[in-house]
């Protein structure tokens, strides 16, 4: 493969990545929370970027509540314990509610929906739903990591006389464990972001702290949206 072919292939991955609406949304999210970190809630260019990007992101999320509504009514993977299933379904319900209410917030901020007080109330309720979904996501990832740990330990005992890293089952379990761990970090950090946006602890979770945590989780989300080949190369 020539250098031109390699460059063309890499650019193809970039185009594939940027063609995903979810990837563009997460890039905008990184800009939003990065601006929030810089501004620390103070008037200026960074705060303006934060506000405008926040409103622009809501357009990306129009009708997105359908995704989690579909997940809510879809069957869980076979063998998933009932408690994990219930928490996962609660997460779907909360996320779907968050995205639905977020549309009302967008209508209010654009002036289409005239009742601004109710729109702001809906916005606050939606953030509580998002925080609840992040808590549920954290619990699900903790439980799944525990299940994976048991499976990995069993495999290690089974493969104790051979090179376990040559076993495809073991490598797949490790990959799943790493992905779950990353998702756990993201969901737990998003709880702090939600607390900051709701101003539940304004002295401890300042706009700068909210921006820092939100920026990190945005970068994680951007990474999670990478094509499989690009992820493999980065590891």
CB 101 within 8 A of CB 123: yes
Residue in this structure with the two tokens 């997940």, named with its chain if needed: 71
Tens-digit pLDDT profile for residues 98-117: 999 999 999 998 889 888 89
Q: What are the Cα distances from residue 104, in Å, to 89, 120, 192?
A: 23, 9, 24
The single residue listed with the structure tokens 């979904």 is 133
Examine the pLDDT at 47 and tell me if it is beyond 90: yes
Q: Which residues fall within 8 angstroms of residue 104, CB to CB, at 6 or more apart?
A: 113, 119, 122, 123
Give the Cα separation of 5 and 151 in Å (integer): 41
Identify the pLDDT of residue 121.
94
The set of residues, in sequence order, having a beta carbon less than 8 Å from that of 49 and lying 6+ positions away, is: 31, 32, 35
CA–CA separation, 235 vs 218, rounded Å? Answer: 19
- The owner of tokens 């953030």 is 127
Residue pair 170/164 in contact by the 8 Å Cβ criterion: yes
For residue 192, pLDDT over 70 is answered with yes
d(CA 212, CA 32): 11
What are the pLDDT digits (tens) for 162-183? 888 888 999 999 999 999 999 9
Average pLDDT rounded to a whole number, residues 126-136: 97
- Cα–Cα dist 40/70, whole Å: 37
Residue 228 has pLDDT above 80, yes or no: no
Cβ burial, residue 177 (10 Å; 0-12/13-18/19+): middle
Tokens of 96: 């779907």
Residue 153, pLDDT > 60, answer yes
Helices (H), 159-235: 168-198, 207-224, 228-234
């Amino acid at each position: 493969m020539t250098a031109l072919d390699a460059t063309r292939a890499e650019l193809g991955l970039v185009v594939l990545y940027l063609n995903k609406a979810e990837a563009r949304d997460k890039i905008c999210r990184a800009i939003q929370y990065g601006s929030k970190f810089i501004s620390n809630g103070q008037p200026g260019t960074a705060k303006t970027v934060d506000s405008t990007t926040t409103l622009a992101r809501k357009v990306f999320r129009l009708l997105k509540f359908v995704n989690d509504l579909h997940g809510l009514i879809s069957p869980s993977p076979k063998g998933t314990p009932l408690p994990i299933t219930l928490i996962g379904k609660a997460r779907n319900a909360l996320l779907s509610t968050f995205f639905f209410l977020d549309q009302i917030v967008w209508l209010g901020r654009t002036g289409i929906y005239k009742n601004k007080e109710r729109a702001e109330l809906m916005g606050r309720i939606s953030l509580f739903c998002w925080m609840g979904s992040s808590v549920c996501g954290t619990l699900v990832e903790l439980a799944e990591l525990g299940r994976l740990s048991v499976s990995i330990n069993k495999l290690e005992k089974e493969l104790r006389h051979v090179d376990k890293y040559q076993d495809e089952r073991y490598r797949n379990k490790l990959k799943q464990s790493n992905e779950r761990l990353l998702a756990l970090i993201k969901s737990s950090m998003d709880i702090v972001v939600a607390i900051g946006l709701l101003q539940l602890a304004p002295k401890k979770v300042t706009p700068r702290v909210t921006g820092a945590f939100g920026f990190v989780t945005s970068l994680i989300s951007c990474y999670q949206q990478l094509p499989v080949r690009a992820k493999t190369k980065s590891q």
